[in-house]
Chains A and B, each alone.
Chain A
Amino acid sequence: MTLVSGWGRFPVVDSELLRPRSFEAVGEAVAGCAGAVARGNGRAYGDAAIGASRTVAMTGFDRVRSFDPATGRIRLEAGVLLSDLIDTFGPRGFLPFVVPGTRFVSIGGAIAADVHGKNHHCEGGFGRYVESVLLRTGQGEVIEASREQNSDAFFATIGGMGLTGVILEATIRLRPVETGWIRERVISASDLDAAMRALDAGDSATYSVAWIDCAAGGSNLGRALIYLGEHASADELADGADRFPVGKDPGLAVPVDLPSMTLNRYSIRAFNELYYRMGARRAGRSHLVSLYPYFFPLDSISAWNRIYGRRGFLQHQCVIPEQGARDVLGEILDRVSKRGDASFLAVLKKLGQGDGILSFPLPGYTLALDFPLKGDILNFLDEIDRLVVAAGGRLYLAKDARQSRATFETGYPALKRFSAIRRSLDPAGNIRSKLSQRLFDEV
């Protein structure tokens, strides 16, 4: 047995970790055990990629099967990382349509969590660009599922947290790009109203996201920097500039777990003040940035999860429907600011409709906050959840480690349909994760 945990390092669970080398071996790993789930690169924060009794590591399956430069259509094994895809096909003029905040996720994980990027409001999530998946179901069949073929299995797999079976391969569409540069424009917003107005005004921008200073309170509550972005064309680059910048491996690493006192209300407030002022100074003008810092600002520091100390941290990411979002977000931010221990990573952005049956996004605003795991944080987050549920919102499963069954069930009304499809693919219940046990498997 091996101790396994997600990126947030909570919970830590004893699970049998297998590394199959063939699709047959994947099948053997899943069959006849009390609950297995596939695991990509382990970037889900909580317990989504930890099997109830067995965890099936998929990163060894990292082959590209075929690529058609005429259409941008690519077939690949589920363990290929987005970073590998970007580094290999970026210089050839193709990028994924959707990337989350880290490039170190696997294709299988990106599909299972239907990850969203800074373009969800206009271009949808990762699942929208998936044409088909090769799925090894709990029942033991290997099926190809698409919008036309086995469509129930397909839409349950997009955002299905790996619970419909093991994703072995997928065919996805890539976006043709001229360069690996983003034309970025920063807008500073002095409070939450201004921040939400700026995000609304950025609806027509391909990419938009707001960094919120969650240490600020009072009249500064919700002050933010909004980052809008567009793909830069080749003629926007300076002469002699590389069309495609190189993605460096994370250089700066957090070598040890920092003592939990490193992050406190004073250090966070000071950091945020500085960060806000520096950003506000750049506001207005647009400039070119490499896609790497634009999309993946945290990837430049490897093992940044160690900042939160050995006990780990919790991320709380909710989405609130557009109607009435302002008041709920204001209330959440007010409570967070009074508490003072949320991290410098508060992100607000707009989402559109999700594609999968269990996909997280719905039209509205999503707020992501990190909290070190200590004190009464679990109770505090339960209170925040009540606000979210009352507003008709829900929490992102890829980041969750602690929400209650009630919160989940209210937030995801399509669960019944999802469960019916899951049962038909896996009547014996071979596929189970710690997350599914916690939130919806029958006990």
Chain B
Amino acid sequence: MTSRKTVLVLGGSSDIGRATARAFAKAGYDVQFAGRDVAVLEPDAADLRARYNVECSIFKFDVLDTASFDGLVGGLPALPDVVISIVGLLGAQENAQSDLAHATTIMRSNYEGPSLILGLFAEKFLARGNGTLVGVSSVAGDRGRASNYVYGSAKAGFSAFLSGLRARASSSGVHVVTVKPGFVRTKMTEGMKLIGPLTVEAPVVGDAILQAVERKTDVVYVSGKWRLVMLIIKTLPEAIFKKLKF
């Protein structure tokens, strides 16, 4: 029997994390779940074992505790084939405008932590000569908007980190995927007004990530409509864009 592939899901307890782990387990991957609250991950790990008869292990991971990253990477029983960072924090833009601690948490959760941890795995993968790194970024990183630029700028930083890493790894066996989900109906967006035709459910994101990994896609807009929407938003002249309050 050929040995099975392993995926590490960072931020496993989120809706997209659960859905992504399911998509990979269904495709036969063993799953390493990592999240802040280990106890919360246990029912999802049991779910994957029962459904798909795969191995599933759990690791503690706090995206703000960068000092623990080396220990996590070194402490895994096996270096995974795929690492997916789903960690993110939407936060509250209005608070972040005056509350530096909150703004810092948003920036670190969406840019610093995810970039550093994927960077560490990139070194391991490049040394090994293969592996796939996936960063879940956001369409919000494509252009800063008045209503959420603290979050958006952190995602922009993360997107830039991923594209740079991809360029560096391009001649190796290591692949880097950037995922821009758009609106997803999850815990994070509960209570927000989402535009129906542009909104997807978490399992759609999970399936899109699996497909992107298998097809070695570089940048994925989960719903194709977002590519067009963001193309328009990105090309609007700043003089016009700054007057749009959205």
Contact = CB atoms under 8 A, between A and B. Distances in A.
Contacts of B46: 63-66
A19 interface: yes
Contacts, number: 24
Interface string A77-103: 000000000001100100000000000
Contacts of B43: 63, 65
Nearest to A69: B53
Size category, B interface: 10 to 19
B187 A88 contact: no
Contacts of A64: 46-47, 50-51
Contacts of B44: 63
A67 interface: yes
A416 interface: no
Interface string A1-36: 000000000000000000101000000000000000
B50 A66 contact: yes
Nearest to A19: B190
Where chain A touches its partner, the secondary structure class is mixed
A25 to B, nearest CB: 12
Nearest to B15: A60
Interface string B25-65: 01000000000000000011011001111000000000000
Where chain B touches its partner, the secondary structure class is helix
Contacts of B53: 92
A67 B50 contact: yes
A88 B51 contact: yes
A398 to B, nearest CB: 25
Contacts of A92: 53
A63 B51 CA distance: 9
Interface in A44-69: 63-67
Contacts of B26: 88
Nearest to B46: A65
Contact of B50 (A19, A21, A65): A65
Contacts of B52: 88
Most chain A CB within 10 A, of B26, B46, B50, B190, is at B50
Contacts of B51: 64, 67, 88-89
A21 B47 contact: no
Contacts of A19: 190
A49 to B, nearest CB: 20
Contacts of A63: 43-44, 46-47
Contacts of B50: 64-67, 74
A74 B51 CA distance: 10
A422 B44 CA distance: 33
A399 B52 CA distance: 35
A66 B50 CA distance: 5
A408 B52 CA distance: 44
A88 B53 CA distance: 11
A385 to B, nearest CB: 39
A65 B44 CA distance: 8
Given A63-B43, A67-B51, A89-B51, 8 more contacts: A63-B44, A64-B50, A64-B51, A65-B47, A65-B50, A66-B50, A67-B50, A92-B53
Interface of A: 19, 21, 63-67, 74, 88-89, 92
21 contacts: A19-B190, A21-B187, A63-B43, A63-B44, A63-B46, A63-B47, A64-B46, A64-B50, A64-B51, A65-B43, A65-B46, A65-B47, A65-B50, A66-B50, A67-B50, A67-B51, A74-B50, A88-B26, A88-B51, A88-B52, A92-B53
Interface of B: 26, 43-44, 46-47, 50-53, 187, 190
